[in-house]
Amino acid sequence: MKLLTRYLAREIYGSVVLVFAALLMLFAFLDFIHELSVMGYGKYSLGYVVVFVVLTIPGHIYELFPVAVLIGTIVAVVQMAARSELTIYRVSGASTMQMLAALTRIALPMIMISFLCGEFVAPPAERMAQKLRLRALNTQVSLQAFRSGVWVKDEYSFVNVRSVMPDTSMSDIEIYNFDDTFHLKTIVHAAHAIYLQPGSWQLDSVIQTSFDKAGVSIQTLPGQTWQSALTPGILSVMLVVPEQMSAYDLYQYVSHLKENKQQSARYEIAMWNKLVYPFALLVMMVLALPFASYQRRAGGVSVMVFMGIVLGLVFHFAGRLVASLGSLNDWQPFLSATAVTGIFLLVGTAMIWRAERR
């Protein structure tokens, strides 16, 4: 079995690398074409576009890992079956359980790589990519995140935002307005802010403190329009979407939301999905094993690869669909994150059972 495992590992790893190369080149090319539509704005030149595309590659690696493993494993086992190599192993006494054990050992290094990429590589790379893009496209606004919230410099104003909601609204905002000699003019506090249109926000429950030669005056207003270059897209640079956050950051944020009695379903689903997603690689390999019963008269390798692509895309988009439905309908987070993986595991097991019965 050690010989079989080593040979399978060499074939599968080689196929997965080739599939990854093809998929990453395709997605990088699509990203490049998309970014060309905004190239030329501000300082966003071709060099910035290339760096942005390179920084998004780790995120694609993490997202495409199950698809690449599924297609690569199918290609490897189909080619081995076509050369009658798997038949020789089965005749020599290798059972289905031994094949599954070999695939498990082969999957472990890839599971580790997927986890490390999703936790420590993809999130900071995506954040750097978005910061780079924003800095090149909009040089009027700069921002930084601290424990007190997100701090934004907007021309002669400094803005502190405690939290940004998923609907792009903000809560607990402090706006410090300075004159051109950098003397503080007003401090505006708003409980809530809604984005109306480019350059305009609607502030609610406003308390405005003004400073002038006559002294300090405080005014309370039910609402006020705030003109600013700040946009929800700019704020989202510092608050990465849940699907691109690390599991540790998601755990901390979920705890924070629960302490403040806020909805946390979307972030809990994303957290569980981050923890379960690497193990989907093993499920994909189980799903690919029945293709080892391939015979040349059943069709070409291209047909099997096409079936693998379809299965991989179904897994990818079905997982996103169930996660979104779970967030909208407040389903149990763990089940929402693991349902599709569990279904595909059952499908793979049924396919193996059917192949053994034939």
Mean pLDDT over 212-238 rounds to 81
- Identify residue 50 by its one-letter amino acid code: V
* Least confident among 29-38, 114-123, 162-171: 162-171
Is pLDDT at 238 greater than 70 in this prediction?
A: no
Q: Which string of DSSP letters, residue by residue, matches 90-131? A: HHTT--HHHHHHHHHHHHHHHHHHHHHIIIIIHHHHHHHHHH
Q: Are 45 and 133 in contact (CB under 8 A)?
A: no
The model's pLDDT over 124-173, given as tens digits with 9 standing for 90+, comes to 898 888 878 877 876 445 455 556 677 777 778 888 888 776 566 788 89
Q: Model-level pTM?
A: 0.76
Element spanning 135, H or E: helix 122-137
Burial 175-185 (b: 16+ CB within 10 A, else e): bbbeeeeeeee
Domain boundaries, the chain: 2-137+239-357, 141-228
Distance CA 348, CA 253 (A): 35
Give residue 114's pLDDT. Answer: 94
* Cross-strand partners of 151: 144, 160
Mean pLDDT over 199-203 rounds to 90
